[in-house]
Amino acid sequence: MIDQATKTKLTEIYLLICQKYDSELQYHCQRFSNNNSPRFTDQEAITIYLFCVHVEKRFKVKEMHSFIKRYFSDWFPKLHSYVAFSTRINNLSHVLQLLSESFMEDFIPEACSDKFSLLDSMPIITCSGKRQGRVAKEITDKSYCSTKNLYYFGVKLHALAFKNNNQLPHPESIVISKASENDLTVFKEKWATIEKRTFFGDKIYINKEFFDQLYLQKHAEMLTPIKAVKDQPIALKKWDSAFNFQYSKAVSTVRQPIESFFNWLIEKTDIQRASKVRSYKGLQSHIFGKLAAAFLSFVF
């Protein structure tokens, strides 16, 4: 039995999606065919996906379809078969990306700082490294995740987030790359043009020459924990150990919330597991659909 609060939430999500669709999303999924006005609308498909992830915690498309068929068939009488519904969601992958970006941009908390940003990445796994990855080869490859001590096939989700005191950081930009892509390379390509910003990252972002130039050109700097110098004399290590420990601890404390943000994403959407994905569009819809569903928390 579905309670009234759940029905109200579904209605709220549908009205929000309709508003977004009419104002911006419709221009990115126009159909130039005889089927340009389907009876089961894009708004309904997106609403079902976001509602099932955000409210019902049903993360697989087949589970979503079965749930709606069982409990909301009178709300969505034109809902297609599971295969047709899955295909529709995959074809809306670009729209889901735009929707997640819209939620990020439209609902930035007032407490966020535009002077300090946190950086990190996490793996999205299509299969373990023991197998041969065959899904979405355009953007996936094999890499090693030191945090999980795991070789895997998949992609990386890179996040640049505004520091938000005493709360989870608010994402400013999300980038998807191949799993083997270096985090510093992604920073150089996507975020090195940002001016007057202090970034907090882990040791992967250490590159003194590059960031010295960045500070001169953009007045932006990168703060990371201090990396041990190879073959440094023991006397020098001990001399600097107290400062290095305290400095590294301070930087790690500031950037720790970005790790909590990723844990929150995983808990809310199970985004990290993409083993059921079977295509490039499927992987795109998995990632950005789950992000959009999580970012509904900014709205409600």
Angle between helices 82-91 and 280-299 (to 10 degrees): 80
Cα angle at 13 between 9 and 36, to 5 degrees?
140
Residue type, 202: D
142/209 Cα distance (integer angstroms): 29
Q: Strand 112-128 vs strand 150-164: parallel, antiparallel, or unpaired? A: antiparallel
Three-point CA angle 145, 244, 200, nearest 5°: 50
CATH architecture, range 112-275: 2-Layer Sandwich (3.30)
> 142, 200, 83: which is closest to 211 by C-alpha?
200
**Per-residue pLDDT tens listing for the chain (300 residues):** 789 999 999 999 999 999 999 999 988 876 656 666 788 999 999 999 999 999 999 999 999 999 999 999 999 999 999 999 999 999 999 999 999 999 999 999 999 999 999 999 999 999 998 888 888 999 999 999 988 889 999 999 999 999 998 899 999 999 999 999 999 999 999 999 999 999 999 999 999 999 999 999 999 999 999 987 777 777 767 777 888 889 999 999 999 999 999 999 999 999 999 999 999 999 999 999 999 999 999 998
Beta bridge partners of 177: 156
Q: What is the DSSP string of 180-236?
A: T--HHHHHHHHTTT--S-EEE--GGG--HHHHHHHHHHHS-EEE-PPPPPTT--HHH
β-pairing verdict for 221-223 and 198-200: parallel
Distance separating alpha carbons of residues 109 and 184, to the nearest angstrom: 27
Distance in angstroms (rounded) separating the CA atoms of residues 142 and 132: 9
CB within 8 Å of 245: residues ≥ 6 apart: none
pLDDT in the model for residue 228 = 79
Residue recorded with tokens 């970005």: 258
Handedness of CA 10, 14, 15, 20 (dihedral sign): positive
CB distance 179 to 140 below 8 Å: yes
What integer pLDDT is reported at residue 131 of this predicted model?
A: 84
Rounded Cα distance, 157 and 29, in Å? 25
**5 φ/ψ angles, rounded to the nearest 5 degrees:** -60, -40
Type of residue found at 103: F
